[in-house]
């Protein structure tokens, strides 16, 4: 009997000891992870990270470091710092707006940023709409520079892609009722990326959506926040299941005027005139959009911001999309109701001419006479 009881006690105690050891190991790992986030980072010496640059897609491949900066409800941001990429402590009742910009590598290895100050201003405008404090332009740009430099080995070789940089502003303090957060956190992280669309630089096939709308007058369609993008997911998923690249959305009132695609602005070419929907609060004011408009004007095109009727789109010579993620992407076909229209594409297209100039400036192969590019090393 004594031996049986002794054996039973051992069978109960051993698993307990094992679980305790497991918990101790887990706690030690968490403590090390937390310590790693607090420690001043030592940047990697390798020129490049271990990445297959030739097959780089547009997905999250976390680079080494991110930038974190806190703000109390008084609206003053503390001094931010670079830390190892990792999870953060966050209240479950948090919300966010975000930006997207890129770092490019020149042939000589130097890193370039493209108009990050414009992303900073757009975040400020979005934060004002959402009643949030926001970093100053200098704070924003400095954070982006630090993040890009800290992750320089993750910037693809010239022509192989870019380092996508995601500045994120979120309410991180707890709140139950409807009102501003008592605390905010600003984070900048990065990921190397290739082409946004699976088609690469091949022409896109778009579908004009008539059931769902992306934004409404007086809403947050002009703000780069999750409230701007979540509404497109259902229509986008349905379109992709039917073989389309993306969705073109119409205005929410008459459903006859073009707005934008799920993640990019749209341009319509007819002869020497390039039209794009006006930013009236329902359309995001893209930095790439603005840049392409200026490049097109420099090349002698008449660039018009206006309400673009869907019939004009179906009668256009060319259609193309612009955005930080997508760059300048040609549209091969658009399907509206029971009609499918094909558009001009190729090396001699307006889209390709504008894209060549934009990419040349971004990557340093064309002289930047506009002051758009910032060299960070």
Q: What is the Cα–Cα distance from 247 to 249, expressed in whole angstroms? A: 6
- Label residue 366 exposed, middle or buried (CB < 10 Å: 0-12, 13-18, 19+): middle
Q: Which residues contact 107 (CB under 8 A, 6 or more apart)?
A: 158, 364, 365
Q: What is the Cα–Cα distance from 42 to 61, expressed in whole angstroms? A: 20
Q: What is the Cα–Cα distance from 47 to 49, expressed in whole angstroms? A: 7
Print the SS3 string covering 254-284. Answer: CCCEEEEECCCEEEEEECCEEEEECCCCCCC
CA-angle at 258, arms to 255 and 259, nearest 5°: 100
Least Cα distance to 265 among 186, 176, 191, 354 occurs for: 354
Strand partners, 225: 97
Q: What are the backbone angles phi and psi of residue 334, rounded to the nearest 5°? A: -135, 135
- Taken in order 46, 47, 49, 50, the sign of the CA dihedral is negative
Least Cα distance to 228 among 284, 276, 166 occurs for: 284
Q: What is the Cα–Cα distance from 287 to 212, expressed in whole angstroms? A: 26
Q: How far does Cα 329 stand from its chain's mean position?
A: 16
Q: What is the Cα–Cα distance from 20 to 312, expressed in whole angstroms? A: 69
Candidates 102, 224, 353, 370; catalytic one: 224
Least Cα distance to 233 among 209, 204, 258 occurs for: 209
The reply to whether 370 belongs to the active site is no
Q: What is the Cα–Cα distance from 26 to 350, expressed in whole angstroms? A: 57
Least Cα distance to 86 among 29, 140, 46 occurs for: 29
As annotated, the active-site residues are: 224
């Amino acid at each position: 009997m004594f031996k049986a009881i002794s054996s039973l006690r051992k069978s109960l105690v051993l698993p307990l000891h094992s679980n305790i050891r497991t918990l101790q190991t887990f706690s030690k790992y968490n403590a090390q992870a937390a310590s790693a986030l607090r420690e001043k980072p030592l940047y990697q010496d390798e020129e490049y990270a271990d990445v297959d640059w030739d097959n780089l897609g547009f997905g999250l491949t976390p680079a080494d470091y991110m930038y974190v900066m806190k703000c109390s409800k008084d609206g003053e941001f503390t001094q931010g710092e670079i830390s190892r990429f990792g999870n953060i402590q966050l209240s479950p009742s948090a919300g966010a707006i975000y930006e997207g910009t890129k770092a490019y590598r020149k042939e000589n290895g130097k890193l370039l940023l493209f108009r990050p100050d414009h992303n900073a201003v757009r975040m400020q405008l979005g934060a004002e709409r959402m009643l949030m404090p926001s970093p100053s332009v200098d704070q924003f740009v400095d954070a982006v520079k630090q993040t890009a430099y800290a992750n320089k080995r993750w910037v693809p070789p010239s022509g192989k892609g870019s380092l996508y940089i995601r500045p994120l502003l979120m309410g991180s303090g707890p709140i139950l009722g409807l009102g501003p957060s008592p605390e905010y956190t600003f984070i900048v992280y990065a990921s190397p990326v290739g082409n946004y669309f699976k088609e690469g630089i091949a022409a896109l096939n778009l579908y004009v959506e008539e059931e769902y709308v992306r934004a409404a007058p007086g809403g947050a369609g002009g703000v780069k926040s999750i409230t701007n993008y979540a509404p497109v997911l259902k229509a986008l998923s349905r379109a992709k299941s039917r073989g389309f690249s993306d969705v073109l959305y119409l205005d929410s009132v008459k459903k006859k005027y073009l707005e934008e695609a799920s993640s990019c602005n749209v341009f319509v070419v007819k002869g020497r005139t390039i039209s794009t929907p006006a930013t009236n609060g329902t359309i995001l004011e893209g930095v790439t959009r603005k840049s392409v408009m200026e490049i097109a004007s420099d090349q002698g095109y008449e660039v018009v911001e206006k309400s673009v009727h869907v019939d004009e789109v179906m009668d256009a010579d060319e259609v193309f999309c612009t955005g930080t993620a997508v760059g300048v992407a040609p549209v091969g076909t658009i399907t509206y109701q029971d009609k499918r229209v094909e558009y001009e594409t190729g090396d001699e297209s307006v889209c390709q001419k504008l894209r060549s100039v934009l990419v040349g400036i971004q990557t340093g192969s064309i002289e930047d006479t506009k002051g758009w590019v910032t060299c960070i090393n």
